Structure 1
Amino acid sequence: MRNILAGLVLSSTLVARAWAGQPAHIYGVNLGSWLVLEPWMLPQEWLDMGGQSCADCSTCIASESAFAKAYPDTVDTTFAQHWDTWFTESNVDTLKAAGINTVRVPLGYWIVEALVDRSHESYPRGGLKYLRRGLSWLKDAGIHAILDHHALPGVQVPGQMFTGNCTTDVQFYTSYNYHRALVWTAVMTTLSHLDPNFGSVFAIEAINEPIMNAALTPNYGTFQKNFVQTMRAVELTLGIPVPSSSLSVSISASLSNNFTAALSATSSATAFTAEVQAALADAIPILQEIGAEYDMQTIFEASSFKKSRSSLVANFMDVNWQYNNPSNPADVAIGPQAYDNHLYYSFGGVADANPTAYMISICNLTRIQSDAAVGNSPLWFGEWGLPTQFNATDAFLYQWADAQKLAYSKGAGWIFWNFKTEISTLTNGNALARQWSYLEGLELGFLTQDPAALHDPNVCVPYLNGTSNSTSS
């Protein structure tokens, strides 16, 4: 999680379009630190697992990669215990009772284990089993899911626990790692349509929080184009029509009961770029391995795979996440597409560190409108929370929660970071959870039991069109 660029000024309300399968209005939480573990969110559990704490997370065992390298013989067992307990069916029941209709599931590329180059990359194995189980709970509860490619091959941004490898050596923006991300996309798109456990998935996010300076992300725009094509190639192979698209795939009758064979045929289709063709081809043996491991061979290779389900939503961080001539993801849309923005005031750069400046900034926010002006609509706020740069009183947190929900609800909705955090002596009791945990925020009353409700619907009235000594307008 990183702070984004400056806040803007609220001028009007936009009605967000909801694609097929997408909730009409998103009230959501992130399942952070489940399948991509961030030690700052559970410091005591991390130490108990065998991890370390250090000021610079690249210098100790403070990421999944570092942990796997330090404990190659026990990492899988240790993480299985974490996956089994951090997110549970009881959590799903609680979220459903709280009116949550969407979860964003942060995933590392290593959830598709064949993509890991074990000659120099180390990550825990076995996470797909827990993802499938968790998604089945969510499906049964009627909660929708976004699969978020949170930690990319090669690392997409330096010095962050959320990339799975806290390093300054950023290598994602290369042909090799773009390719691995596209293979991941092909696999996840296939599972989302063919694995019954993935029935609640309505969107796949291409990348979480790329480097903001577009000058440092060469060919990122081409990757965006190929990401969308990869999703649509899989769907067209499945017989799923892609709205507003001239793309087509012809599958012979002889392949109508063998999806992997049909996908092999699609991988030669000249309608798609060479990069997409290569990704589809490399996804096939991986799907066959997954099919063998999880008893899905019949689904992948010996049954009719034609689907009537709607296309998935292709999800990108919005164009305003980057600066220095960024590519606009709206330009690559084929079928349903939506956009994500993250906003944290606690990292600075948004408003001066005082309650009045925060309220003026959030109550006059126009990111939704500015995004819509460049085609980045519908927009949801995929990460936000209650943390501040100052010691916030309970009274302020009631206002702060209301004002943010009010601002973000003018678009497609919001997804709080995080569903929970640890409460321990290392987090000073609930001091961390008080501002970062949705479940704790509910318990304390800052967040309403009905996520659409506000304590004070007029919370922003005193601050509209106000001015402050904000560090950015």
Structure 2
Amino acid sequence: MSSRLITAFVSILPLASAWLPGHHSSIELSAFGVTNRSIAGRQTIVVPDKIRGVNVGSLFIIEPWMVGESWNRIGCSNQPSEFACVQQLGQEAANSAFRQHWDTWITQGEIQLMKDYGLNTIRIPIGYWMAEDLVRGDEHYPKGGLQFLDRFVGWAADAGMYVILDLHGGPGVQAANQGFTGNTVSEPQFFNSYNFDRAYGFLEFMTSRIHNPSTAQQYRSVGMLQVMNEPDRGYGNLVSEFYPNTLRRIRDRETQLNVADAARLHVQFMNTNWGAGRPAQNLPADDMLFFDSHTYFSFENSKEQSQQSYLTSSCAAQPGSDGDAPVVVGEWSVGINANAGGNGEFEVNSDNNLEFYRQYYGRQVGNFEKLAGWIFWSWKTEAGNDFRWSYKTAVERGIFDKDPGNAAANYGC
């Protein structure tokens, strides 16, 4: 999730299965929940034909713009990132403060609420420092998150939710000046062999945790690994080196673990439209790939700032136009550009504007469901009544329908 949102927001041997739409094989589909059939002797989750999900932003990588109250409680209100926060607090104090956040930010009951709201998928942004052995002594990240990730994915599986694990914060940092990476730096240091190796190590670590008998029960609904979120553009070795090696390393680890072909993980890459290169260009042949498109109209600085312009853009967008397939729109919102400033037609506390936001939401849902589906950013924020980045608040205020299918039917393009 881009820290550019700050500006926009202020202006307003059990084995884990990887079944996805289009890969149903012999598993009998159900709309939600856990089937009574099994792979390798264990019940396995299936997903509906369209991914309808939310990101759990600021759970395992805190973005201060989203959770100001929590950031203050941790003691880092003047810091831009987790790295800087840990530096300020010291390791032990930071570990304690972050554990409190991980323990309370999203509860088991909220996962059930997601399902009650018609959602079936959770995307979990995590940092490479979840595998603590990969962190150098001069790097500063909170420790102890893995046990809370284990618990969270177990809760998701119990609720029958499909899970995508997303490497959101890469070693060396993959995007400049972005709080979502865990460390705001002016120049990313990810794009070299040393940090590529650490990223491979993290993805192998998570692959093992998903499939290994000791943890597979908790991870039984994790079907996809996203190898890197929103890497900076202009680094050719991302496509020529990192992407193909990542896929090989994940598949090699699954081979070592004797994972059946049908139970392999889907591996996800940012799509070509992201602008960092064509991800499939050098990939080995593989039929378990997925691609991610991030579609934020709030970042289109040249667009006319009117309700009609946003509604038109919602229908005209083609997030799958680059030919990468299958595609899920892994991040989007009903946020508005900072240029809209004091434009009263976007005021969230005016009843006159709520119908616009219902249409803005419904049109995006309808458009994105022409592809494999969508994952909203984010489940919740600490923003009071402002629902534009909070799915939970939007449903509570009656802006988003508890059945997303109704939104598309009533307001779709």
TM-score range, shorter chain: 0.7 to 0.9
Alpha-carbon contact 1:383-1:417 (below 8 Å) kept: yes
Q: CA 1:140 to 1:385, structure 2 compared with 1: closer, same or farther past 3 Å?
A: same
Secondary structure in 2 matching 1:446: coil
Counterparts of 1:312 and 1:459 in 2: how far apart (Å)?
A: 32
Aligned to 1:179: 197
Write the deviation string for residues 100-134 of structure 1: whole angstroms up to 9, x where unpaired: 1100000000000000001x101000000000000
Write the deviation string for residues 296-350 of structure 1: whole angstroms up to 9, x where unpaired: xxxxxxxxxxxxx611100000012116xx2332641423000001111112247
Secondary structure in 2 matching 1:216: coil
Alpha-carbon contact 1:17-1:378 (below 8 Å) kept: no
Q: Report the AA paired with residue 66 of structure 2.
A: M
Alignment of 1:206 onto 2:224: no
Secondary structure in 2 matching 1:436: coil
Alignment of 1:436 onto 2:384: no
Map 1:405-420 to 2 at 5 A: 405-420=365-380
Secondary structure in 2 matching 1:415: strand
Alpha-carbon contact 2:358-2:411 (below 8 Å) kept: no
Deviation (angstroms), 1:229: 0.6
Aligned to 2:183: 165
Alpha-carbon contact 2:359-2:411 (below 8 Å) kept: no
Q: Where does the alignment leave 5 or more consecutive residues of structure 2 unmatched?
A: 5-19, 25-45, 347-352
TM-score, normalised to structure 1's length?
0.73
Aligned to 2:289: 337
Q: Report the AA paired with residue 116 of structure 1.
A: V
Counterparts of 1:97 and 1:330 in 2: how far apart (Å)?
A: 40
Map 1:46-445 to 2 at 5 A: 46-53=71-78, 61-72=79-90, 73-118=92-137, 120-194=138-212, 195=215, 196-211=217-232, 213=233, 215-242=234-261, 310-322=263-275, 326-329=277-280, 331-332=282-283, 333-349=285-301, 351-368=303-320, 370-372=321-323, 376-389=324-337, 390=340, 391=343, 392=346, 393-423=353-383, 429-431=384-386, 434-445=387-398
Deviation (angstroms), 1:174: 0.7
Q: Report the AA paired with residue 402 of structure 2.
A: Q
Identical aligned pairs, as a percentage?
A: 35
Alpha-carbon contact 1:339-1:379 (below 8 Å) kept: yes
Alpha-carbon contact 2:165-2:225 (below 8 Å) kept: yes
Counterparts of 2:238 and 2:56 in 1: how far apart (Å)?
A: 30
Secondary structure in 2 matching 1:382: strand
Deviation (angstroms), 1:169: 2.8
Counterparts of 2:208 and 2:85 in 1: how far apart (Å)?
A: 30
Q: Report the AA paired with residue 218 of structure 1.
A: N
Counterparts of 1:23 and 1:183 in 2: how far apart (Å)?
A: 32
Alignment of 1:18 onto 2:22: yes
Aligned to 1:288: none
Alignment of 1:38 onto 2:57: no
Write the deviation string for residues 347-403 of structure 1: whole angstroms up to 9, x where unpaired: 2247322222222222122232x233xxx1110000001111235221210110011
Counterparts of 2:322 and 2:238 in 1: how far apart (Å)?
A: 22
Alpha-carbon contact 2:66-2:381 (below 8 Å) kept: yes
Q: Report the AA paired with residue 435 of structure 1.
A: R
Counterparts of 2:408 and 2:270 in 1: how far apart (Å)?
A: 30
Question: Which one is further off, 388-397 or 108-117?
Answer: 388-397
Deviation (angstroms), 1:231: 1.2
TM-score, normalised to structure 2's length?
0.83
Deviation (angstroms), 1:451: 2.0
Alpha-carbon contact 1:19-1:313 (below 8 Å) kept: no
Write the deviation string for residues 148-184 of structure 1: whole angstroms up to 9, x where unpaired: 0000000000111100001113100011000000000
Alpha-carbon contact 1:311-1:335 (below 8 Å) kept: no
Counterparts of 1:102 and 1:17 in 2: how far apart (Å)?
A: 12
Alpha-carbon contact 1:17-1:377 (below 8 Å) kept: no
Counterparts of 2:67 and 2:280 in 1: how far apart (Å)?
A: 34
Alpha-carbon contact 2:366-2:408 (below 8 Å) kept: no
Alpha-carbon contact 2:271-2:278 (below 8 Å) kept: no
Structure 1 consecutive aligned stretches of length 4 or more whose deviation exceeds 6 Å? none
Secondary structure in 2 matching 1:74: helix
Counterparts of 1:451 and 1:459 in 2: how far apart (Å)?
A: 11
Q: Report the AA paired with residue 394 of structure 2.
A: G
Alpha-carbon contact 1:80-1:127 (below 8 Å) kept: yes
Q: Report the AA paired with residue 289 of structure 2.
A: Q
Aligned to 1:295: none
Alpha-carbon contact 1:229-1:334 (below 8 Å) kept: no
Q: Report the AA paired with residue 388 of structure 1.
A: I
Counterparts of 2:108 and 2:306 in 1: how far apart (Å)?
A: 39
Deviation (angstroms), 1:459: 4.4
Secondary structure in 2 matching 1:198: coil
Deviation (angstroms), 1:230: 1.0
Counterparts of 1:343 and 1:128 in 2: how far apart (Å)?
A: 30
Q: Where does the alignment leave 5 or more consecutive residues of structure 1 unmatched?
A: 4-15, 54-60, 243-308, 424-428, 461-473
